[in-house]
């Protein structure tokens, strides 16, 4: 593994290997303690957008395992503005052992990887959020043993989180059902990649408008914000379109009785996800957030070739 830009860049076997490693590193973390596998290693974290989970979980992943992390805020570096991405990549590679970047334009993280001689991780772009998908798959696997044959229903905007969740779900043999309003579909390129991955694994992808139909027989209901970072000027328009896609008690009651409700967070409570569901018995949102730590330890360990 050279970089980690998208789950779909890797084989299902590689993704499953990362999940298995995450499970064993998580066990070590809680039972024996972390080994200093990242001693002498530094992760640079470039952020063009805000973050809680990504920033803190990557930083802690490095520290727990004897390494260090460096936070570079949106006001620093000026990726592609103050300096070309190609130059940033080549300078950074002389200082640190691995780079994580959260960007607007997906091509910026691709360009960073193209020029970087050290591994680059996509910490969210406008197109995808692969580290989130790894934590999501880990959470689903912990609950159900495996993703194979499950129905994963995503309700809401066909955004970056939906793209990575669809790809990882079908790669690992889960059926993926998405209900979104007209005009808020996933990018065509992501749908095409999903179709190819599903054809290989035998999973199905279903595109719907009706959230009620989507969650019927779902073991996982997933939602995300209606307005992603960078789309703030569309907030009013989106707040008018998305309310029928709210994940609330009624919608959850229409799914499988053992359904888990997931959200990458930050949640806009009582917009896309009601308080009673977020804090109710089906909610997996906090274990899911905590699994970012363990999933990313596995990604870092493989990229740094230390496990
Ligand atoms: N889920 C997620 O990536 O959260 P942050 O934006 O807080 O990093
Ligand atoms: N879709 C959201 C995810 C945040 C973690 C966004 O891009 O803002």
Same-domain status, 71 and 11: yes
Q: How many domains does one find in the chain?
A: 2
Based on the fold, state whether residues 143 and 52 are members of the same structural domain: no
Which residue, by CA, sits nearest to atom 4 of ligand 1?
53
Q: For residue 96, what pLDDT is reported? A: 98
**Residue 300, pLDDT score:** 98
Does residue 161 line the site of ligand 1, with CB under 6 A? no
Q: Whose CA is nearest to atom 1 of ligand 1?
A: 264
Q: Report how far residue 154's alpha carbon sits from residue 176's, in angstroms, rounded to the nearest whole number.
A: 8
Going 135 to 138 to 143 to 144, the CA torsion angle's sign is positive
- 3-state SS track over 122-160: ECCCCCCCHHHHHHHHHHHHHHHCCCCCCEEEEECCCCH
Does 124 lie in the same domain as 269? no
Does residue 233 share a domain with residue 177?
A: yes
What's the pLDDT score for residue 77? 86
Residue 149 sits in the same domain as residue 89: no
Answer whether residue 120 is part of any domain: yes
How many angstroms is it from 12 CA to the middle of ligand 1?
24
Domain region containing 39: 7-129+292-303
Q: Are residues 119 and 138 part of one domain?
A: no
pLDDT at 78: 85
Residue 1: the pLDDT is 85
- How far apart, in whole angstroms, are the C-alpha atoms of residue 107 and residue 24? 33
In a domain, 148, yes or no: yes
Would you state the pLDDT for residue 271?
98
Residue 124 Cα to ligand 1 middle (Å): 8
How many A from CA of 133 to the centre of ligand 2? 12
CA 160, CA 214: separation in Å to the nearest integer?
19
Q: Name the DSSP letter for residue 126.
A: S
Active-site residue set: 102, 129, 132, 224, 264, 292
Q: What is the mean pLDDT of each run of 10 residues along the chain (307 residues)?
A: 96 98 98 98 97 98 98 90 94 97 98 98 98 99 98 98 99 98 98 98 98 98 98 98 98 98 98 98 98 98 96
The reply to whether 186 and 144 lie within a common domain is yes
pLDDT confidence of residue 241: 98
Residue nearest to atom 1 of ligand 2 (CA): 228
Ligand 2 atom closest to the CA of 159, numbered from 1:
1
Sheet with strand 205-208: strands edge to edge: 205-208, 175-179, 151-155, 220-223, 260-263
Task: Output the residue whose Cα is nearest ligand 1's atom 2.
Answer: 53
- Name all residues whose Cβ lies below 6 A of ligand 2: 124, 159-161, 224-225, 228-229, 264
Q: The domain that contains 266 carries what CATH number?
A: 3.40.50.1370
Whether pTM exceeds 0.85: yes
Residue 231 lies in a domain: yes
Residue of 51, 165, 227 to test ligand 1 pocket, by largest number of atoms within 8 Å of CB: 51
Same domain for 46 and 82, yes or no, is yes
Residue 192 lies in a domain: yes
- Asked whether residue 101 is domain-assigned, the answer is yes
Q: In this structure, what token pair is assigned to residue 159?
A: 């955004």
Q: What is the pLDDT of residue 237?
A: 98
Residues 60 and 207 in one domain: no
Please indicate, yes or no, whether residues 156 and 237 belong to a single structural domain of this protein.
Answer: yes
Shared domain check, 187 and 67: no
The answer to the question of residue 1 being in a domain is no
Do 116 and 181 fall within a single domain?
Answer: no
| Domain-located, residue 62 | yes
Residue 216 lies in a domain: yes
């Amino acid at each position: 593994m050279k970089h980690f830009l998208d789950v779909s860049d890797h084989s299902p076997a590689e993704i499953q290997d990362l999940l298995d490693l995450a499970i064993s590193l998580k066990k070590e973390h809680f039972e024996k303690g972390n080994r200093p596998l990242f001693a002498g290693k530094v992760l640079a974290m470039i952020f063009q957008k805000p973050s809680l989970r990504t920033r803190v979980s990557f930083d802690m992943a490095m520290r727990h395992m004897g390494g260090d992390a460096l936070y570079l805020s949106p006001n620093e570096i000026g990726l592609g503005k103050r300096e070309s991405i190609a130059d940033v990549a080549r300078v950074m590679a002389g200082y640190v052992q691995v780079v994580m970047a959260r960007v607007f334009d997906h091509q910026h993280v691709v360009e960073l990887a193209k020029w970087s001689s050290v591994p680059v991780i996509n910490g969210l772009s406008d197109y995808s959020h692969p580290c989130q998908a790894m934590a999501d798959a880990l959470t689903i696997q912990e609950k159900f043993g495996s993703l194979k044959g499950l129905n994963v229903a995503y309700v809401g905007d066909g955004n970056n989180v939906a793209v990575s969740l669809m790809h990882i779900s079908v790669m690992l043999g889960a059926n993926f059902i998405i209900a979104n309003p007209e005009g808020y579909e996933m990018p065509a390129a992501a749908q095409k990649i999903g179709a190819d991955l599903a054809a290989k694994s035998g999973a199905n992808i279903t595109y719907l408008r009706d959230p009620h139909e989507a969650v019927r027989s779902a073991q996982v209901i997933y939602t995300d914000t209606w307005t992603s970072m960078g789309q703030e000027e569309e907030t009013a328009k989106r707040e008018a379109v998305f309310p029928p896609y709210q994940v609330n008690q009624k919608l959850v009651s229409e799914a499988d009785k053992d359904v888990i409700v997931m959200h990458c967070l930050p949640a806009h409570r009582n917009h896309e996800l009601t308080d009673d569901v977020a804090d109710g018995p089906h909610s997996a949102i906090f274990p899911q957030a905590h699994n970012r730590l363990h999933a990313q330890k596995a990604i870092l360990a493989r990229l740094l070739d230390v496990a």
